[in-house]
Chain A
Amino acid sequence: MHLLTVITFLPTVGALALLLLRGDDHVWIRRLALTTAASEFALSLLLIPGVPVGAAGYRLEEVHAWISNPQINYHLGVDGISLFLVVLTTFLTPIAMLASWKSICVRVKEFFVMLLVLETGVIGVFLSLDLFLFFLFWEVMLLPMYFLIGIWGHEHRIYASLKFVLYTMAGSILMLVGIVWLHYLALQLDVDTFDLQVIQSLLQNGQIALRPSAEMVLFGAFFLAFAIKVPLFPLHTWLPDAHVEAPTAGSIILAGVLLKMGTYGMLRFCLPLFPDAARKFAPLIAILAIIGILYGALVAMVQPNLKKLVAYSSVSHLGFVVLGIFAFNAISIQGAVYQMLSHGISTGALFLLVGMLYDRRHTFLIREYGGLATPMPRLAAFFLFVALSSLGLPMLNGFVGEFLILLGTYQQHWLWASFAAAGVVFSAVYLLWSYQRVFFGEVTQETNRTLPDLSVREKWILLTMAAVILWMGVGSTMFTRRFEASCQNVLDRMSRAGAYSAGRTQVPETTVSHTPARLPTKRALERSGKR
């Protein structure tokens, strides 16, 4: 059974089927697209039993020879980290479709085709275990997003979409050079492969001996591509533009899933492949992440534009994820993965709500609103709920990730954690303050007095989102237990590789895998520090 292939390409098949429909048959286009996305979500749930609790390696692998010269395989696999990211993607895509049910009325067919193709690209990125294949999906996914922003976006959409593509492409082309270089290094050992696992083990057992400078360059080539995608301060400038100009569905997918491709890449490639370089750069990256957390929050605080506010809050939240990853601690990495998921849900929901406001008033400016709780009590209630989840209220999803990240980071570097903790406070400020200005007080504009409250469709979308938010807040172990082992696995690969290339004997495996929090990495850090 080729479950992964089916999951990857089902949306494309749906998109091709859509192309056969008549362009003005909007009802059936929407229905077919939603059916595809919904069945895709159902299929992706089948993955969850496929990745047992406590299993670290890849599951459901599929390997087929594809290009023979050089040897490139079609190699898919899923592990605990990618599992929920795939499910998140398949969950948010139908939500995004429902969100644009009414608001997209020009070139409807193309819109849904693009959304479905985008889904294939994103899922392919998360499932590829061949570097070439990964790069292929990574690049292909740019195009539909480019069109989504450029065609159905707002006023400055063309500028924003070009900026988005060029930024990403600038990073990814260097990653391609890095990938080809890795292949060259493997080829020196007569191993003609782009396979992630093979190259990883070659690097890990020292058969490919990288000079420290070379490792740093390679790390940089990969990291830059991911850092642009995340986006890490100071590479974040494309994000506010892209978000503000994108249609609601585009924003949901962009914030919900696309940004995670960057942090996923760091976790999957930067850390296990180049552990020494990762350690060397970790302080710098952590500082940038902390700057991002604080800067994002501060800029969000003074935004007059509601959508831009949410966009900058993403910069801040993703800073947490990067910090958690580069603290090299089992707990913080788990937290980072959790934060990726919960940010996808919370920020997706925030963009959804902002989009609903826009549908009613066609503006994102906070000063145009005020006192909306009177005409729209339901929307206000949902907004508050989502805002609270985003600012990290305990019992809701945002809290779990941030708490784990801070906890894990604190064990490594208390100073990093204390600066980052300030970001949590700031996020409360900007979210609650903007909430107050938009929803509380007297109705300031007459037009706002008669705005309709949630429609049935909108209510059900939001209810679903709210249920997931609550579930992820109280039932967090149901998620963490499935990616715990995979997160530990990332660290294991780092420590052992570090021990080897430092010219020491290997750290016995037992000490690595059974002392969860701090031991192995800290030791390795000290070692590399002494060197």
Chain B
Amino acid sequence: MFPMIEDLRRVAPELVLCSVGTLLMLLEPFLPLSRRRQISTVLAVVGAVVALAATMYPLRNAGTAFGGLLAIDGVSVFFHLLVGAVALLVILASGEYLTRENLAAGEFYALVFFATAGMGVMASAQELMTAFIGLEMSSISSYILASYRRRALKSNESAMKYFLLGSFATAFFLYGIAMVYGATGTTFLQNMSTGAQNLVLLRLGFAMIFIGLAFKVAAAPFQIWTPDVYEGAPTPVTALFSAGPKAAAFAVLLRIFGTVTTVHEFWFWALWISAALTMFVGNLGALAQSNVKRMLAYSSIAHAGYVLVAFAASNRIGLAAVLYYLLAYALVKVGAFTVVSHLGGEGERRIEINDYAGLGQRQPATAAVLTLYLLSLLGMPITAGFLGKFYIFKAALDSRLIVLAILMAVNSVIGAYYYLRVIVVMYMREPQESVAAVRLPLTVGLVLVITAAGTIYLGLFPNQIMDFVSQAGLLQR
């Protein structure tokens, strides 16, 4: 069947991303060596902006595409904007990094684009095989990105671990799809609620799908890869990992959860236990870290746990809370990893927490924004992180998940300790050695300004976003 023009318009963001990515790869050899990096960067930034702009069409024209394989609805648009924005910010932030590490720019951006396109497909997929294709697109690009600093041992280790464990998880996902297909005779989500022949098979299938996705969002007990991969990957790539693929995997989870009503019963305890476990594993693990990247990796595990609490609540405000939280979280994590990348210096040498001693005096602006991000992760009011947490509390209590809400409260306090510890080091310790302050490149500064302003704006004026994410019919059924 030949795709209709309407179908193509509805996947405009993916089309833009894929074609710009391909263009970047093809163009790279023909560009003059001296200006190669700059031209690629400019092209990539323009491409990302166009991809974001292309999301406007689906925003106004909800519906399905390709015979129901893709659902273009509020959730899809939201995640498109989210992963698109993450890609744009990561591209802006990585220019400095690639120059410093002397890595090729064109392929890097192309891989970011392909990964983002995959995430976009995941966000809209209403059919499991399509979701799988999106997952593979994003995963394979991610494996390569993780190893992009290919002369560094850690980067290779990171990619290897990610690849092996990741393929294992995708296999689970695929096997789950097969079983669900066996039980229901369909891979379309909207047809799965009824007519299941074999309930055991169906349960087993959805359990496997859950495992596959739990791996991608780094939920316990499938989180084991996260710290190593986050630590070893080039820091801008870590920024992408912590925000993009995670959000996309949550989008798939959300769509399955929202469309297939039988899943609620299957998954409730899995979600409950996984949420509780994830929060504790993440926060307790982060307590023991001395490396900023590893600490942020554990913190991102913990935050996946908070989001799972909202899933377990499975009510309207819970859906809104998931979306709001992921947005708030993505802004902060991209910002924080950008700061880490900037401060890391050549070869990522300064990524221990103690390396930040005296930063409050040496680089007050950078220290201030990093403090803001940490406070948002901690859940301090007037930042987006606080409202996100507040909405999750609200969702949990509305569904009377009181124990889970209290566990989350306990975890917030545990988390406060390690976030504050970084602030302590930055402001209350004297620097150990004199490190020359590196000037903040314009692009990195821009990323920091956008993410910091967004964090405060969302924390003070959440109305527009909340109105959007809590409207009825956000999720097409």
Binding site for B on A (CB under 8 A): 67-70, 107, 132, 135-137, 139-140, 142-143, 146-147, 150-151, 157-158, 161-162, 165-166, 169-170, 173-174, 176-177, 180-181, 183-184, 187
- Cβ-defined partner of B375 (8 Å) among A137, A143, A176: A143
For A184, the chain B residues whose CB sits under 8 A away are 394, 397-398
11 A–B contacts from the bound complex (CB under 8 Å): A67-B463, A68-B463, A69-B463, A69-B470, A146-B420, A158-B424, A165-B420, A169-B413, A174-B406, A177-B393, A184-B398
Known A-B contacts A68-B467, A139-B381, A180-B397; A173 and B412 likewise in contact (beta carbons under 8 Å)? yes
Other CB < 8 Å A-B pairs besides A139-B381, A177-B409, 13 of them?
Answer: A107-B361, A137-B381, A150-B427, A157-B428, A158-B428, A165-B416, A174-B406, A176-B390, A177-B397, A177-B405, A177-B406, A183-B394, A184-B394
Q: Is the CB of A162 within 8 A of B417?
A: yes
For A139, the chain B residues whose CB sits under 8 A away are 380-381, 386
Known A-B contacts A68-B466, A69-B470; A136 and B394 likewise in contact (beta carbons under 8 Å)? no
Q: Is the CB of A143 within 8 A of B380?
A: yes
Question: Most chain-A Cβ atoms within 10 A of its Cβ — which of B417, B420, B421, B467?
Answer: B420
For B463, the chain A residues whose CB sits under 8 A away are 67-69
B405 to chain A, nearest CB (A): 5
Give Cα distance in the complex from A143 to B381, angstroms. 10
Give Cα distance in the complex from A142 to B463, angstroms. 26
Which residue of chain B has its CB nearest to the CB of A171?
B413
| Band of interface residues on B | 20 to 34
B382 at the A interface (CB under 8 A) = yes
Binding site for A on B (CB under 8 A): 320, 361, 375, 380-382, 386, 390, 393-394, 397-398, 405-406, 409, 412-413, 416-417, 420-421, 424, 427-428, 462-463, 466-467, 470
B99 to chain A, nearest CB (A): 32
For B405, the chain A residues whose CB sits under 8 A away are 177, 180
Which residue of chain B has its CB nearest to the CB of A167?
B413
Which residue of chain A has its CB nearest to the CB of B471?
A69
Give Cα distance in the complex from A162 to B421, angstroms. 8
Q: Is the CB of B466 within 8 A of A140?
A: no
User: How many residue pairs bridge A and B at CB < 8 Å?
Assistant: 78
- Cβ-defined partner of B409 (8 Å) among A70, A135, A173: A173
For A69, the chain B residues whose CB sits under 8 A away are 320, 463, 466-467, 470
A113 to chain B, nearest CB (A): 11
Question: Most chain-B Cβ atoms within 10 A of its Cβ — which of A69, A132, A158, A174?
Answer: A69
For B470, the chain A residues whose CB sits under 8 A away are 69
Give Cα distance in the complex from A151 to B364, angstroms. 14
Give Cα distance in the complex from A470 to B469, angstroms. 59
For B375, the chain A residues whose CB sits under 8 A away are 143
Known A-B contacts A69-B463, A69-B466, A169-B416; A174 and B381 likewise in contact (beta carbons under 8 Å)? no
For B320, the chain A residues whose CB sits under 8 A away are 69
A108 to chain B, nearest CB (A): 13
Q: Is the CB of A173 within 8 A of B462?
A: no
Q: Is the CB of B427 within 8 A of A180?
A: no
B400 to chain A, nearest CB (A): 9
Q: Is the CB of B382 within 8 A of A150?
A: no
Give Cα distance in the complex from A403 to B420, angstroms. 43
For B412, the chain A residues whose CB sits under 8 A away are 169, 173
In the complex, the 4 A-B pairs of residues with the closest C-beta atoms, listed nearest first: A136-B381, A173-B409, A69-B466, A170-B413
Q: Is the CB of B413 within 8 A of A173?
A: yes
Known A-B contacts A68-B466, A135-B381, A165-B420; A180 and B390 likewise in contact (beta carbons under 8 Å)? yes
For B424, the chain A residues whose CB sits under 8 A away are 150, 158, 161-162
For A162, the chain B residues whose CB sits under 8 A away are 417, 420-421, 424
Q: Is the CB of B382 within 8 A of A136?
A: yes
For A140, the chain B residues whose CB sits under 8 A away are 380-382
Give Cα distance in the complex from A162 to B375, angstroms. 14
For A67, the chain B residues whose CB sits under 8 A away are 462-463, 466
Q: Is the CB of B413 within 8 A of A176?
A: no
Q: Is the CB of A147 within 8 A of B427?
A: yes
For A176, the chain B residues whose CB sits under 8 A away are 390, 393, 409
Which residue of chain B has its CB nearest to the CB of A157?
B428
Give Cα distance in the complex from A187 to B316, angstroms. 14
For A166, the chain B residues whose CB sits under 8 A away are 413, 416-417, 420
For B406, the chain A residues whose CB sits under 8 A away are 174, 177
Give Cα distance in the complex from A161 to B466, angstroms. 35
For B394, the chain A residues whose CB sits under 8 A away are 70, 180, 183-184
Give Cα distance in the complex from A136 to B383, angstroms. 10
Question: Most chain-B Cβ atoms within 10 A of its Cβ — which of A132, A140, A177, A187?
Answer: A177
Give Cα distance in the complex from A157 to B429, angstroms. 11
Q: Is the CB of A181 within 8 A of B397?
A: yes
Give Cα distance in the complex from A420 to B390, angstroms. 41
For B428, the chain A residues whose CB sits under 8 A away are 150-151, 157-158, 161
Give Cα distance in the complex from A105 to B390, angstroms. 40
B412 to chain A, nearest CB (A): 5
Question: Most chain-B Cβ atoms within 10 A of its Cβ — which of A147, A157, A169, A184?
Answer: A169
Question: Most chain-A Cβ atoms within 10 A of its Cβ — which of B375, B424, B466?
Answer: B424
A22 to chain B, nearest CB (A): 13
B396 to chain A, nearest CB (A): 8
Which residue of chain B has its CB nearest to the CB of A132?
B390
For B421, the chain A residues whose CB sits under 8 A away are 162
B108 to chain A, nearest CB (A): 38
Give Cα distance in the complex from A143 to B380, angstroms. 9
Which residue of chain B has its CB nearest to the CB of A188?
B398
Which residue of chain A has its CB nearest to the CB of B392?
A180
Give Cα distance in the complex from A430 to B380, angstroms. 40
Give Cα distance in the complex from A174 to B408, angstroms. 10
Which residue of chain A has its CB nearest to the CB of B411?
A173
Which residue of chain A has its CB nearest to the CB of B424?
A158
B378 to chain A, nearest CB (A): 9
For A143, the chain B residues whose CB sits under 8 A away are 375, 380
A150 to chain B, nearest CB (A): 5
Give Cα distance in the complex from A161 to B380, angstroms. 16
Give Cα distance in the complex from A132 to B382, angstroms. 12
B346 to chain A, nearest CB (A): 30
Which residue of chain B has its CB nearest to the CB of A162?
B420
For A68, the chain B residues whose CB sits under 8 A away are 463, 466-467
